[in-house]
Amino acid sequence: MASASQPAPRYHDLDALRAVATLLGIALHGAFFVLPELIYPWPVHDKSVGNDPTYHIILDITHGLRTPVFYLLSGLFSVLLWERRGLYSLGMQRLKRIGLPLAVGCFTIIPLTALAMALTSGREHPYDFPFWALPLIWLFATMHLWFLWNLLLMVGVFIILAKPAIVLAPLFRVLARLGIRLDPSRLDQLGVQYRNPKIWLLTIPISVVASLLMQEPIFGADSLQSLIPKPATFVFYCCFFFFGAFLYRQGIGVRRWWTIALLPAAVTFCIGFLLLREYAAEAKPFTHGELPELVWMFSNRLTAVSALAETAFAWLTAFGMMGLFRWLLSRPSFTVRYLSDASYWMYMAHLPLVVVAHWVVVDWPISYHLKYILACAGVTVVLLITYQLFIRYTFIGNVLNGPRTRRKRSLPTAAPERA
């Protein structure tokens, strides 16, 4: 890996994978209205789906792989930035690229999403709330922006573990005035030893324990929409974040042969999916607006084995996808880079558009498969247009991805005159 004095290398394959993990959010939320039954409260539902499990499979695969992959890559890129610019720059960059968009989104995107859900549902429960409360919705549910809030928390934990003396410097000054003097260098020695692989390999069994402590009978980790994260889910995702930091710190390069991990990942998905379907068939049905009954994963043999299979699926898919993208997309590509830049804005702004798109197409007399494709494609096209026209070369784009310059078109060379 590059030292602090050298320019950081560009990981084109990991940039592309991070973009795909982000954009899969559109496919995930796009599937909610065509599920055979409601597993989440959603304002629009196509009742013509029947018992078709297609979109359960799409939803479970997407939910099971995208967020672990995203956090693993976030941990890797966080250490890269730390070694390139220092710990202080890492914190300030994350506040600019994550904290500022999150703060703006709390008062714009989240209220717009809540408004779209209220209007498309006809103000039915749980969307029957006074509109004056829209600016405060984020206090109760960060919706799809939860991943930004939790990423900020993970970076904070990472900085504390990396250099605890920096974080506790104000406390040292107060203690010094009271006559109690401590050596900050000794405290830093108690921080995380990033070059000790034995410590970081513990993240895998810890993630298994965390998965057994979750409560929602869904494929993948529990939801994280509140400002106070669920401990088991937060620890589960932290395992991927810190393992990504371990990969970079240990100088472990991504290899193409990692792609073979996708084969056992498919097996673990089938096990987890089938066990959860069997458990769901035994559970009490619920109506529109209700949440599924909570159950500790280890309290039922079906959910316990399913949780283990889901965790194995997340790890295997993360490594398999890194290997696959290393194989296919390791070379620089303007198109891939452009989509990587656009993906951040597209994920942040997509949810209210997805809700409206569902409401528009739900009653069309066409196949629900075509409805799903049209809704996802329409939202994607709108987001790409808005990114190009209003985001990429503006202050907003600078905050999200750094400054971008327009490509200069080369003038065509004149053809030589014939003799």
| Predicted confidence (pLDDT) per residue in 355-409, tens digit | 999 999 999 999 999 999 999 999 999 999 999 999 999 999 999 998 887 776 5
Asked if residue 5 belongs to a domain, the reply is no
- Domain carrying residue 79: 12-401
Lowest pLDDT segment from 56-60, 122-126, 161-165, 412-416: 412-416
Burial class of residue 13 in the structure, from the number of CB atoms within 10 Å of its CB (0-12 exposed, 13-18 middle, 19+ buried): buried
pLDDT in tens, 295-352: 667 777 778 888 999 999 999 999 999 999 999 999 998 999 999 999 999 999 999 9
The 8 Å CB, 24+ separation contacts for 354-359 are 354/26, 354/29, 354/30, 354/379, 355/43, 355/44, 355/113, 355/116, 355/117, 355/120, 356/116, 356/120, 357/30, 358/30, 358/32, 358/33, 358/43, 358/44, 358/120, 359/43, 359/44, 359/116, 359/120
The per-residue pLDDT of the chain, averaged, comes to 85
Number of other residues whose CB lies within 10 A of the CB of residue 366: 10
Residue pointed to by tokens 């494929």 = 219
417: helix, coil or strand? coil
- What percentage of the chain reaches a pLDDT higher than 70? 82
pTM across the whole model: 0.88
The answer to whether residue 417 scores a pLDDT higher than 60 is no
How large is the average pLDDT for residues 249-258? 86
How large is the average pLDDT for residues 32-59? 86
Kindly tell me the sign of the dihedral angle through the C-alpha atoms of 261, 266, 267, 269. Answer: positive
Cis bond upstream, residue 264 (ω within 30)? no
pLDDT at 416: 42
Contact residues for 135 (Cβ-Cβ < 8 A; gap 6+): 107, 111
pLDDT at 36: 81
How large is the average pLDDT for residues 194-199? 63
Asked if residue 149 belongs to a domain, the reply is yes
Asked if residue 85 belongs to a domain, the reply is yes
Asked if residue 407 belongs to a domain, the reply is no
Closest alpha carbon to 184 in 163, 201, 161? 163
Q: At what angle do helices 100-107 and 109-120 cross, to 10 degrees?
A: 30
Asked if residue 127 belongs to a domain, the reply is yes
- Our count of domains for the chain comes to 1
pLDDT at 163: 75
Asked if residue 178 belongs to a domain, the reply is yes
pLDDT band at 415 (very low <50, low <70, confident <90, very high): very low
Asked if residue 272 belongs to a domain, the reply is yes
The answer to whether residue 289 scores a pLDDT higher than 80 is no
The answer to whether residue 161 scores a pLDDT higher than 70 is yes
Asked if residue 66 belongs to a domain, the reply is yes
The answer to whether residue 215 scores a pLDDT higher than 60 is yes
Instruction: Decide if 40 contacts 248 (C-beta within 8 A).
Output: no
Question: How does DSSP classify residue 190?
Answer: T
